[in-house]
Amino acid sequence: MKILLTGANGQLAQDIWLLAQKKGWEVMAFTRQVLDISNFKQVKEAITTIKPDIVINCAAYNYVDKAEKEWEQALLVNGIGPRNLATICERQAISLVHFSTDYVFDGHKSTPYTIADLPSPLNKYGATKLQGEIEVSHLTNRYYLIRVSWVFGLRGKTEVNFIKKLLLWSKDRDQLHIVTDQISSPSYTEDVAKAVLDLIQTGRFGLYHITNSGYCSRYQWAEWVLKKIDWSGKLFPARSKDFPNSVLRPAFSALDTFPLKNILGHELPSWQEATERFLKQWFSL
C-alpha cells in the first residue's frame, strides 16, 4: 500500500509513519513546509504525481487559544486544506483519512459523545475543525473521518502535549495547579496509529471516534502521572476560570468509540495503560 502522509512532523503522523513502514507499506511523507494543504495547486500536483492508495491528513492548526485571533489561518489549515484534499481524492478515487477533535462538542453532556451526537463547538478552533469535517464528508465518499481527544505521543517535532508539559513542569516546580473541570479521553498516538491502519484495511468508510478507553479530568491524569514518577511537590485542583486568558473549552468531551470496537473486535487499551507505556519509553530515552 502506498500512503501520502501530510503534517509529517506531528506526533500522530510520526507514529503512523513508523507503523506503516513496519508493515512494509510505502510512505511518502510531507511536512507543511513542503506541502501546504491550503494550496490547491500543491495538493493536486502531489496527489496526481504520487498516485497513492490513500491520503492520511495529519496537518492541522492546533493552537486553541491563538485560533481566536488567527482564525483565518486556522480555517485555511483545518477547513480549506481538507476541502482541497477531499476534492482531489474524490477525482482520483483515492481514500482519505482526516482527523478531527472532541472540541467540535460543547461539553454539556455527562456521558461520552457518540458519532450520532450533533457538534456544537465553543471556540473558533473547534469551529474550524468542524468545517473540515463538513468539507470532507460532503466532497468525497471514500473517507475515514476520525475524532481524537487529548492526543499525546513520544515522537513529533511540532507539539508539546499535556504529559510532556507536565513532566517539564515537574522538574522545576514544587507546586502545580491543574484543572478539574475539563474531562475527556486521552489518546496515545501509538494506539491511535495502530487502530487507524487496522481500520483502513477493513474498507469501512465513515465517521469514527478513536481514543484510549476510559476518561479522566486533567487533574486526575496529572495526579496519576505525578504519582508514577514519585514527584515530591504539591498538586492543587484548579478551575478553568482560574486561567482568565484561556479560551473556553468543553467541560466534558469524552468520546464513545462505538462502532470502532465492534469493527476491530477490541477496545483500545485504557488511558492508564497507555500513559504508563508512554512514561516507560520517555524515561528510557
125 assigned to active site:
yes
Q: Which of 103, 125, 188, 208 is catalytic?
A: 125
For 185, residues 6+ apart whose C-beta sits below 8 A from its C-beta are 102, 112, 149, 150, 211, 212, 213, 214, 215, 254, 255, 271
Active site positions, annotated: 125
